Amino acid sequence: MPSPPRHPRSPKFAARTDWDLRLNRWAAAAADARGTAGGFDLTITNPTAAGLEYPRERILAALAAPAALAYEPTPRGALAAREAVAAYYADRGAPVRPERLLLTASTSEAYSHLFRLLANPGERVHVPCPSYPLLDHLAAINDLELAPYPLWHAGGWHVDAAELERTINPRSRLLVVIHPNNPTGSYLTAEDWAALLDVAARHRMAILADEVFFDYAWDPSLRPLDLALAAAPNGPPVFLLNGLSKISALPQMKLGWLAALGGDDAWRQAALARLEVIADAYLSLSAPVQAAAAELLALRRELQPQILARLRANVAVLDSRLAGQRWVSRLSAAGGWMAVLRLPGWQGGEAWAEALLRQGVLAHPGEFYGFSGAPCLVVGLLTPPAAFTAGLDRLLEYVAQAAPPG
């Protein structure tokens, strides 16, 4: 990367910020294409831009609570807010007590707090691949080395525990799991969870379990493994991460949390005490959102059914359209807000994504999430159904036209 221009007397930038900020060809083309008339954006993941019906008056009334005017800094978060989060877990049948919770401004902040707690600069955090690229930046900002471990797809997604084991070294400190994974939409199986607990225990690692899409299983009969119940009291420490962003489709409210489960009780208490000091240094959590937490979490009962109906409808359309052609298939998934499409291999995912931009269809290339091998595209299932169907039809039509004869 070329060095940025600077005045001879200007200070140097920290090496951790030496990112290549230039847009690649696909990103530059996508920036030009967004908002173009006649185009279809199949990358929508922002629920506030997805045409959902929000109970505006209830949201605004919750934020106007008199408690929002008082400033009472409590590093772990206000007790009433933590009790509201504990009630969410109780609805899942998982007893997570308020004293095991620490509130943050976002799940990303929870990641950073745990990175600071558990790893020194240069130590290693293990993350699944494919997964969302935000983890790369969070690790780099916290001066940690990222070590991907593969998920493999064979009739379903599975953790490659043997390959994970090969990537572990004396600097390994943390093991990240995402349940369900973004973008593969795969929940951990009981067998994979047992293997991860075993790896973490033998190597004295903590597990960070990101569950932001947990409530969005496409099949109403599916009961995903609940890690809050599956964290063994005598096993390795497990930290669950979640927040309002996905649970109540309120990313702008900036309320996340971590729940400390599993492991030795004395160690867990020491961890929470240290996390309290870290959180106290940031003073980042908003009093109005904490005062409104119970009401904002209750809104999930209105918003989640809308989102689940949207996801299921778009998946049904997707599977119906794919059944009538030969070139594109959907990789198996069970939940989340994304779907992964496998395309013909005569060009890579980025090339497919660039070509589709010229057809007015915006979809993420699989390389953005770390896919390798057969080309993939990732599409967002929050897209309003009419636009999703029209964009998908245009995508499939273009692929069929691009196919070689025979």
pLDDT of residue 155: 84
∠ Cα 256 258 263 (to 5°): 175
CA distances from 274 to 76, 134, 240, 258, 374 (A): 11, 25, 17, 14, 45
Closest CA to 104 of 212, 238, 207, 226: 212
Beta strands 157-159 and 361-362: pairing type?
A: unpaired
- Tell me, what's the pLDDT at 22? 86
What are the structure tokens assigned to 61, written together?
A: 């009334």
Cα–Cα distances in Å, from 235 out to 197, 198, 205, 260?
A: 7, 8, 10, 12
Distance CA 161, CA 344 (A): 29
| Cα–Cα nearest to 138, from 129, 127, 130, 149 | 127
184 touches 151 (CB < 8 A): yes
| pLDDT by 10s per residue, the chain, length 406 | 555 566 678 898 998 898 888 887 777 777 777 666 568 999 999 999 999 999 999 999 999 988 888 888 899 999 999 999 999 999 999 999 999 999 999 999 999 999 999 999 999 999 999 999 999 999 999 999 999 999 999 889 999 999 999 999 999 999 999 999 999 999 999 999 999 999 999 999 999 999 999 999 999 999 999 999 998 888 999 999 999 999 999 999 999 999 999 989 999 999 999 999 999 999 888 999 999 999 999 999 999 999 999 999 999 999 999 998 999 999 999 999 999 999 999 999 999 999 999 999 999 999 999 999 899 999 999 999 999 999 999 999 999 998 887 6
Residue 34: per-residue pLDDT: 66
Q: If you compute the radius of gyration of the chain from its CA atoms, what whole number of angstroms results?
A: 22
Residues 384 and 396 sit within 8 Å (Cβ to Cβ): no
User: In this structure, what DSSP letter does residue 18 have?
Assistant: -
Residues near 320 by Cβ (< 8 Å), separated by ≥ 6?
A: none
What's the chain's length in residues?
Answer: 406
